[in-house]
Amino acid sequence: MLSSGAGIVRGVDLLTDEQLPRYALGVLKRELGADGLARFLRLHRSGAGDYRRERGGWQKGVTFDEAAALCGAVAFEGKWSHERNPVRH
């Protein structure tokens, strides 16, 4: 049984890889309704094309530092972290 608290579902890590998509679709259907779920699936379905080939165009000229900054990562003593205030270990 999955439980939730403060908007975070606990126990998802206990689901198998086969169970997780079914659970996630159930959550989407519950929250968005059948029409919303259908729209979400239409918008996020796998598309045609070669991502590896196409990413070269939209990533051209972007440095690692720029990409990391866009993701919210920060450099701390030469190492990258998503924490805003990394702690020394």
pLDDT at residue 35 in the model: 92
Alpha carbon 80 to chain centroid distance?
Answer: 19
pLDDT at residue 89 in the model: 47
Measured distance CA(45)–CA(41) in Å, rounded: 6
* Nearest by Cα to 36 from 46, 51, 25: 25
Measured distance CA(78)–CA(89) in Å, rounded: 14
The stretches in the chain having pLDDT less than 50 are: 1, 6, 89
pLDDT at residue 25 in the model: 92
Measured distance CA(69)–CA(80) in Å, rounded: 10
pTM across the whole model: 0.41
pLDDT at residue 2 in the model: 53
pLDDT at residue 30 in the model: 94
Query: Which residues, listed in sequence order, are joined to residue 74 by a DSSP beta bridge?
Result: 81
